[in-house]
Amino acid sequence: MSKIRMLWKKIPEQLRHLLVPLVIIAAGYLLVRWILVPADFGYLGHYRASSITANLQKPIRYAGAEACEGCHNEVGATLKQGYHRGVACEACHAPASAHSEDPENIKPTVTRTRTLCLLCHEYLSTRPTGFPQVVADSHNPSRPCVSCHRSHDPKPPQPLKKCEACHAKIQGLLALSNHAELNCTSCHTTPARHYTRPREYPPQRLQSRQVCLDCHDKTASRVQEISRVDGATHGEKYLCWQCHYPHLPEAR
């Protein structure tokens, strides 16, 4: 004990007096830390573990298509056959988990005006090629879509005659070009099932230069205004569409 006292006395007086606030601050820090840091901090990582529980307990608003099909299995079956097989119920019918909890008293909604359908089907040139789109202003402008198309099985009211129902962008570019008079089928052989399963039965592109050269070769007997090339030498080994964009050959 006296040795410690001797050591203690050897420390300069200033340092001895400095120790007091230092110890108070250190002890104070530890005390505050012990009181304030939540007990579950650090269990799973450098965070409050109960935050995981809080995140898991957030309310669910969308029940999910599977939940809807549990009761509405006929609608589910209809959907699966048609073009809207990939569209979730709640994409059109708004979040419906409240309805699945209390089906009698809380009903889901649906917008029957054109605005909802046009979110997907309004013509936008950015949409991927082949996605069915309409130019709303010219496609039965005053009528709601549901008056001709049933939402759960949206077949077109008349069978599709032209390609532009889905390929409006291409049709639009074609209409501006010198190739406006050409039919799609002049260059694209299209299997019949392309209309119902487009990605699985795609159309073909031309596999030879002959169709193009029928008009564009220097020996072709068409109107003078059609641009001519020497089919034997022009473009090396490539097919014509590997350089030129046939739907708008002038611009692209």
Partner 1 sequence: MDHSTANLWPLLKEVTGYIFPNEIELHWGLLVVIYPYLTGLVAGAFILASLVKVFNVREVQPTYRLSLLTALAFLIVAPLPLVAHLSRPERALEIFLTPSVTSAMAMFGFVYVWYLMAVLLLEIWFDHRHELILRAEKEKGLKRVFLRVLSLYSKDIRPAALAFDKKAVYVITVIGVPSALILHGYVGFIFGSVKANPWWSSVLMPIVFLFSATVSGIALMLFLYMVITLFRRRKLDMACLDKLANFLFYMMLIDFTLEGLDFIQRVYQAEESIKIIGQMISQRIFVSLIVIQVLLGMLLPLIAIAAVKIFRFPAELRRLIYFVSAILVQVGIFATRWNVVIGGQLFSKSFRGLTTYKIGIGGMEGLLVSLAFLVLPFIILYALVKILPPWGEDATHRRATAAN
Partner 2 sequence: MKKEDKRHMIVGRRDFCKLILGGLGLLLLPTVTSFASRKRGYERWYGTKYNPKEHRYGMGINVDRCIGCGRCVDACKKENDVPDEPFFFRTWVERYNIGEKEEVIVDSPNGGEDGFKNNTQEQRILRSFFVPKLCNQCDNPPCVQTCPVGATYKTDDGVILIDEKYCIGCRYCIHACPYGMRFINPRTRTADKCTFCYHRILKGLSPACVEVCPTEARVFGDLSMVASPLRRFLRMNKIMVLKPQLNTEPKVYYAALDMEVR
First and final C-alpha spacing in the chain: 96
3-state secondary structure string across 184-246:
HHHHCCCCHHHHCCCCCCCCCCCCCCHHHHHHHECCCCCCCCCCCECCCCCCCCCCHHHCCCC
Q: Is 28 in the site for partner 1 (CB under 8 A)?
A: no
From the list partner 2, partner 1, none, which binds 61 (C-beta under 5 to 8 Å, kind-based)? partner 2
Helix or strand holding residue 73 (H, E): helix 73-81
Per-residue binder mask for partner 2 (CB under 8 A), 17-46, x = binder: --x--xx--x--xx--xx--xx-xxxxxxx
Q: Is 43 in the site for partner 1 (CB under 8 A)?
A: no
From the list partner 1, partner 2, none, which binds 17 (C-beta under 5 to 8 Å, kind-based)? partner 1
Task: Please report how close the Cβ of residue 83 comes to partner 2 at its closest, in angstroms.
Answer: 10
Joined tokens for residue 23: 């110890």
Nearest in space to 246 (alpha carbons), one of 183, 191, 194, 200:
183
Return the beta strands (E) in the chain as ranges. Answer: none
From the list partner 1, partner 2, none, which binds 30 (C-beta under 5 to 8 Å, kind-based)? partner 2
Query: Phi/psi of residue 35, each to 5°?
Result: -75, -45
Footprint of partner 1 (CB under 8 A): 12-14, 17-18, 20-21, 25, 29, 32-33, 36-37, 41-42, 46
Footprint of partner 2 (CB under 8 A): 7, 10-12, 15, 19, 22-23, 26, 29-30, 33-34, 37-38, 40-62, 64-65, 84, 86-88, 90-91, 94-95, 118-120, 122-128, 131, 169, 172-173, 176, 248, 251-252
